[in-house]
A = this chain, B = another copy of it.
Amino acid sequence: MIPFDTPPEDKSELDEAKVFTPRFDEHGLVTAVVTDIRDGAVLMLAHMNAEALSLTLETGIAHYYSRSRAKIWKKGETSGNLQHVEAILADCDQDAVLLKVRVAGHDAACHTGRRSCFYRAVSLVDGKAALTSIDDRRAFDPAEVYGHKH
């Protein structure tokens, strides 16, 4: 596993640092934003612990940490929709990363079969927050791909 150094005590040193010292939260996680390298579309948001970051950097295939299953999650292992990581960027205070990926398989990142997890717009309707779908195209049938697991 890649040894990540401890972040500096002075947060202002993180901005121009040349060494990646991820600032893991109290659960040992950083946030990962995942975009499609072809057009920059935001596909999903996930979390990574040190092991997931290591595996991703070492293999070039996106690995996350599943909070619900409490284990390493090699994205696409079941669906075939592996994410080939073309670039990883760190943000200024090093508690988030941006992954630019090329999606294999069905070219979809969402467990609902859609390309992106962000497929509904939020708007105010009669003072309440409503959701309206902006993408109902399914690249795969979740029931077929995941069986009874979802």
- With both beta carbons as reference points, the residue of chain B lying nearest to A114 in the complex is identified as B92
A31-B31, A57-B124, A97-B122 known; A44-B129 Cβ under 8 A: no
Question: Counting CB contacts under 8 A, is A55 at the interface?
Answer: no
**Which of B2, B19, B35 meets A127, CB within 8 Å?**
B2
Question: Counting CB contacts under 8 A, is A131 at the interface?
Answer: yes
Question: Counting CB contacts under 8 A, is A40 at the interface?
Answer: yes
**Residues of the B chain whose Cβ atoms lie less than 8 Å from the Cβ of A128:** 2-3, 5, 19
Question: Counting CB contacts under 8 A, is A9 at the interface?
Answer: no
Question: Would A92 and B121 count as touching, CB distance under 8 A?
Answer: no
Q: In chain A, residues 1-25, which have Cβ atoms closer than 8 Å to a Cβ of chain B?
A: 2-5, 12, 15-20, 22
**Which of B3, B57, B97, B122 meets A89, CB within 8 Å?**
B122
A1 to chain B, nearest CB (A): 10
B-contact 0/1 string along A106-150, CB 8 Å cutoff: 000011101001111111100111111010000000000000001
